[in-house]
């Protein structure tokens, strides 16, 4: 409950909502939402998540899309001011962000602002999209057998909608020995692929795109560094939601698993057992 | 409930338990544990997490330490066989892993094995230690103001207890423009620091160590690439639990926040408000 004329600043929790699937919220995120007086949330936060907030609390959409580099609608400065104003009213504020607050989430800037104003502040981590997509698409980000012991999380475009300042030569050289995940890279996909190839990355490096990872609308597209730009055009991919690019040997994992599972390649004589436990595997958020 | 003489294979869920704090489990992880017949779990999984498993279910410690590169006790092959044997009994199996199954967790190998045996398999992502430590230590992994738009997750040692095969020159060159997180790096800390300096990384690059991230025993140590080896010796750091190394400009964030919060540097005339909401911020897992 907010206190009118509060003498104490209400606490602000910067909470990661995860990649989209409401069941990927952490227990702490749920507790913070249930105890909130005010929730300032990004766009694309699912209704099931927002419904955890008490009816008496105030929900304010601050209009940034998950993983979007642009600030849409209310700008970052206004988000800061809204957090502060509600804290000054003695409210328990949740700033609910897609993914994880500290991976391309501006959590650092919000933490700085709040700290400078003496607002007590907590950060609740969330499943970042790369991990959510990897799990739901069954693509390991590290794998000894595929010689990938190194993961890069990077953005696919900078503020100015150009390729970000990165060591593209290194990314290209190591393309087959690591997993690179580009957030927000679809618009510059062609440039990303061309730049990596110019720097010597093998055209047959596996690449996949994941749209709306972990949501019911999830779609994925599997190709290579060389063929992906064309595939995207063919399939008209990425119109619906945020897209993640995964580049590296394990990006072909789904096809690899399929070949492992195929009885024709395994010389098994026993019949293939029926798939059990659909309910166990396919559960949805309990009401 | 396992079915004796089951005709169908029971499903296996590879579940990330997160970095240690039981409240950082996802809702889906909780549901899988609550529905499990058999749980094969790493060491260092907290008692509060295991207590979510029904009393009638079987808990089997498979003895690997979180983030440990060695296989202790039961080897990986035996874990595979245990998963398969219990699936063949028709049991719902949870393979509960520290952190995230797909980040240095051998989830890929387990998934391959299960798929090759036609076992229905699901992956539930977890908060990986880097994200858990970043949130609990308030160290953003990306930050525009600190010019870090790129995160590396890597191991600090290879199977042979030597430095892993990575592009150390690139890591060194970009030390001040990205965040590198080394899992399992404490034993080779001196070599990591020396190698990065040899390749030209600035000695004053901020570095922090986090031990037992997100657990009640969490400790952190803040220094630089140049001074950390000496600091570790002085403080006898890292005897208790797994240690994560964070290298990059934002590793000094806690000190930076302290300077922002300090009223003496802010010329504020109003009194510093009392910290509110301790209960909101410091909650523990509800029983």
* Residues B98 and B140 reside in one and the same domain: no
* Residues A30 and A67 reside in one and the same domain: yes
**End position of a domain, from candidates B108, B126, B144:** B126
| pLDDT for res B280 | 47
Give the gap in angstroms from C-alpha B182 to the nearest C-alpha of chain A: 10
Check whether A244 has a pLDDT greater than 90.
Answer: yes
* Residues B135 and B214 reside in one and the same domain: yes
pLDDT by residue (tens digit) across A113-147? 999 999 999 999 999 999 999 999 999 999 999 98
**End position of a domain, from candidates B126, B147, B176:** B126
Pairwise CB contact (< 8 Å): B165 & A151:
no
* Residues B112 and B137 reside in one and the same domain: no
Pairwise CB contact (< 8 Å): B111 & A141:
no
From B274, which residue of chain A is nearest by alpha-carbon distance?
A8
| Mean pLDDT for the stretch of residues A234-246 | 89
Nearest to A225 by CA among A206, A238, A243: A206
Give the gap in angstroms from C-alpha A235 to the nearest C-alpha of chain B: 27
pLDDT by residue (tens digit) across B187-236? 999 999 999 999 999 999 999 999 999 999 999 999 999 999 999 999 87
Q: Is A273 on the interface with B (CB under 8 A)?
A: yes
| Residue B106 within any structural domain of the chain | yes
* Residues B135 and B97 reside in one and the same domain: no
| Residue A90 within any structural domain of the chain | yes
- In this prediction, residue B55 has a pLDDT band, given cuts at 50, 70 and 90, of very high
d(CA B167, CA A149): 12
Best of A69, A125, A132, A172 to disrupt the B interface by mutation (most B CBs within 10 Å)?
A125
Nearest to A225 by CA among A172, A269, A277, A283: A172
| Paired sense of beta strands B12-16 and A179-183, if any | unpaired
| pLDDT for res A72 | 52
Comparing B105 with A91, which gets the higher pLDDT? A91
| Residue A265 within any structural domain of the chain | no
- In this prediction, residue A277 has a pLDDT band, given cuts at 50, 70 and 90, of very low
| Residue A7 within any structural domain of the chain | no
| pLDDT for res B270 | 40
Contacts of B263 in chain A (CB under 8 A): 118
For residue B155, give the CATH number of its domain: 3.30.950.10
* Residues A56 and A94 reside in one and the same domain: yes
pLDDT by residue (tens digit) across A75-87? 889 999 999 999 9
Which of left, alpha, beta for B36 (phi over 0: left; psi -120 to 50: alpha)?
beta
* Residues A188 and A93 reside in one and the same domain: no
* Residues B164 and B245 reside in one and the same domain: yes
d(CA B52, CA A55): 29
**End position of a domain, from candidates B126, B154, B181:** B126
Give the gap in angstroms from C-alpha B234 to the nearest C-alpha of chain A: 30
In the set B21, B42, B97, B100, the catalytic residue is B42
d(CA B145, CA A7): 32
Q: Provide the domain count of chain B.
A: 2
Containing structural domain, residue B111: 12-126
pLDDT by residue (tens digit) across A45-72? 999 999 999 999 999 999 766 655 555 5
* Residues B105 and B205 reside in one and the same domain: no
| pLDDT for res B239 | 82
pLDDT by residue (tens digit) across A193-216? 999 999 999 999 999 999 999 999
CA distances in angstroms from A35 to A54, A87, A133, A148, listed in the order given: 8, 14, 29, 42
For residue A95, give the CATH number of its domain: 3.40.1010.10
Question: Which residues, at least 6 apart from B78, have a Cβ–Cβ distance to it below 8 Å?
Answer: B62
| Mean pLDDT for the stretch of residues B125-146 | 97
Residues forming beta bridges with residue B38, ordered by sequence position = B58, B93
């Amino acid at each position: 409950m907010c206190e009118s004329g509060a003498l104490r600043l209400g606490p602000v929790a910067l909470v990661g909502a995860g990649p989209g699937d409401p069941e990927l919220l952490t227990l702490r995120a749920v507790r913070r939402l249930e105890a909130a007086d005010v929730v300032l949330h990004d766009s694309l936060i699912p209704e099931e998540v927002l419904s955890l907030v008490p009816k008496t609390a105030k929900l304010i959409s601050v209009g940034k899309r998950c993983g979007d580099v642009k600030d849409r609608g209310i700008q970052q400065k206004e988000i800061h001011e809204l957090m502060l104003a509600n804290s000054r009213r003695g409210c328990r504020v949740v700033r609910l962000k897609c993914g994880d607050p500290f991976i391309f989430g501006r959590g650092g800037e919000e933490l700085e602002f709040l700290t400078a104003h003496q607002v007590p502040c907590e950060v609740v981590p969330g499943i970042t999209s790369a991990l959510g997509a990897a799990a739901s698409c069954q693509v390991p980000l590290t794998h000894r057998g595929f010689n990938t012991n190194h993961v890069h999380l990077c953005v696919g475009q900078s503020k100015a909608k150009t390729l970000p300042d990165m060591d593209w030569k290194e990314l290209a050289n190591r393309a087959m020995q690591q997993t690179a995940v580009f957030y927000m890279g679809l618009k510059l996909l062609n440039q990303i692929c061309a730049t990596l190839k110019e720097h010597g990355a093998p055209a047959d490096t596996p690449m996949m795109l994941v749209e709306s990872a972990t949501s019911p609308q999830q779609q994925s597209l599997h190709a290579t560094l060389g063929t992906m730009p064309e595939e995207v055009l063919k399939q008209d991919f990425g119109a619906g939601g945020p897209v993640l690019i995964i580049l590296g040997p394990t990006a072909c994992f789904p096809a690899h698993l399929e070949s492992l599972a195929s009885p024709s390649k395994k010389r098994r004589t026993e019949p293939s057992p029926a798939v059990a436990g659909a309910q166990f595997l396919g559960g949805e958020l309990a009401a």
